[in-house]
Amino acid sequence: MITTNINKAAKALQNDDIIAIPTETVYGLAGNAYSENALKKIFAIKKRPYYNPLIVHIKSVSSLSTIASDVPTMALKLAEEFWPGPLTLVLKKQPHISDLITAGKETVAVRVPNHPIALAVLEKLDFPLAAPSANPFGSISPTTAGHVFDYFEEELEVILDGGSCERGVESTIIGFEGNQPVLYRYGSISVEEIERVVGPLLFTVNNDNTPNSPGMLSRHYAPITDTYLTNHVADLVHSFQGKKIGLLLYKNEIPNQEDAIQEVLSENGHLHEAATKLYAALHRLDKSNLDVIIAEKFPDDGLGKTLNDRLQRAIKK
């Protein structure tokens, strides 16, 4: 089930099977992007609605023209700057790209992953991979092979183990309206980094009806346990006296809360470290038989915006 055998993974994909692969962001549920049969299996295993598009993973920038057409100059600048890496571009699709991938839209989301195992698998294939995150639709994203196993022990024959994901949150997604770049999803590359390359972005990050990309639904990335997001953790803890509480904290534990389970993401206050640890901490808390998870808001700059975005979509209120 969990394996490091790249040849076994490639063979399964060539047989239209669905496997889990590691990327630098989160683990993906991968299948042949040119196979309608494989694409339908992805949606079925994940229980993902067909109106939510998939991301196509390619092996190099030079492969982009096989997936997308009429690529804007700004998109090429971003690809040259950030690929391989956690940036997804939403571009006009080539005619052969399935409507299952694009939710019937004329645009396709595409990226080059920056993980040696994912790239090694792609090198062995003559097709790209459609690969949403390897979790049931709406659940916490997986950042280890063990997370995937817990979700899909019965459904997947191959879970390719690449260790813990280096980035820990999903790719940043950029689309284009005319020649204007638009942020569709906060991700592992900060807005500030993107804007240094292409200038100011427009923002369209929520759409529950016809999303232009993954990650735009208002409820997503969510634990089963009721989760709250606040700037005032201690006050909210007080309101849940007598409950089993888990705390998801940025830098410091809350004093005098010996009965609470506390997860501190970065004692040194590094947002990159916090992002890397976010989902793993949520997985642990969600398995701890708690009544409630209380998450602390992050500074609203750089990757803090991404972390707040993920928690905002996970919360009960």
Q: For the chain, which residues make up each domain, given as ranges?
A: 2-203, 227-314
Mean pLDDT score across all residues of the chain: 95
Q: Would you say 52 is a known binding-site residue? A: yes
| Distance in angstroms (rounded) separating the CA atoms of residues 316 and 111 | 32
CATH 3.40.50.11030 fits 227-314, yes or no: yes
Listed in sequence order, the residues at least 6 apart from 214 whose beta carbon sits closer than 8 Å to its beta carbon are: 52, 53, 54, 55, 109, 132, 170, 173, 185
Decide: residue 95, CB within 10 A, 0-12 exposed, 13-18 middle, 19+ buried: exposed
Q: How confident is the model at residue 316 (pLDDT cuts 50, 70, 90)?
A: low
Residue 272 marked ligand-binding: no
**One-letter amino acid identity for 72?**
P
Would you say 151 is a known binding-site residue?
A: no
Nearest in space to 197 (alpha carbons), one of 300, 63, 91, 75: 75
- How confident is residue 216, by pLDDT bands cut at 50, 70 and 90? confident
Judge if pTM exceeds 0.85: yes
Q: Is 131 annotated as a binding residue?
A: yes
Return d(Cα 15, Cα 190) in angstroms, integer.
Answer: 38
Strands 129-130 and 28-32, by their bridges, are antiparallel
Surface-to-core class of residue 80, CB atoms within 10 Å of its CB (0-12 exposed, 13-18 middle, 19+ buried): exposed
Confidence band (pLDDT; 50, 70, 90) for 206?
confident
Confidence at residue 81, expressed as pLDDT on a 0 to 100 scale: 98
When pLDDT is cut at 50, 70 and 90, the band that residue 288 belongs to is very high
Establish whether 115 is an annotated binding residue: no
Residue 21: what pLDDT?
Answer: 98
pLDDT higher for 1 or 223?
223
28-32 and 19-21 strand pairing: antiparallel
CA torsion sign, 14 to 66 to 71 to 199? Answer: positive
Helix H or strand E segment including 295: strand 292-296
Residue 25 assigned ligand-binding role: yes
- Contact status, residue 282 vs residue 222, Cβ threshold 8 Å: no
Q: Strand pairing partners for 54? A: none
SS3 302: coil
φ and ψ at 127, to 5 degrees? Answer: -145, 155
pLDDT of 259 over the 70 cut: yes
Q: What percentage of the chain reaches a pLDDT higher than 90? A: 91
Is residue 196 annotated as involved in ligand binding? no
Q: What is the pLDDT of residues 23-74, one digit of tens each?
A: 999 999 999 999 999 999 999 999 999 999 999 999 999 999 999 999 999 9
* Residue of 221 and 73 predicted with greater confidence: 73
pLDDT surpasses 70 at 10: yes
Asked if residue 107 belongs to a known ligand binding site, the reply is: yes
Q: Per the annotation, does 284 bind a ligand?
A: no
How far apart, in whole angstroms, are the C-alpha atoms of residue 232 and residue 166?
A: 30
Determine the pLDDT at residue 40: 98
Nearest to 206 by CA among 250, 242, 173: 173
Asked if the model's pLDDT at residue 160 lies above 60, the reply is yes
Binding site annotation covers 179?
Answer: no
The distance from CA 247 to its chain's CA centroid, rounded to whole angstroms, is 22
CA–CA dist 282, 246 (Å, integer): 9
Considering only 138-142, 144-148, 219-223, which range has the smallest mean pLDDT? 219-223
CATH number of 2-203: 3.90.870.10
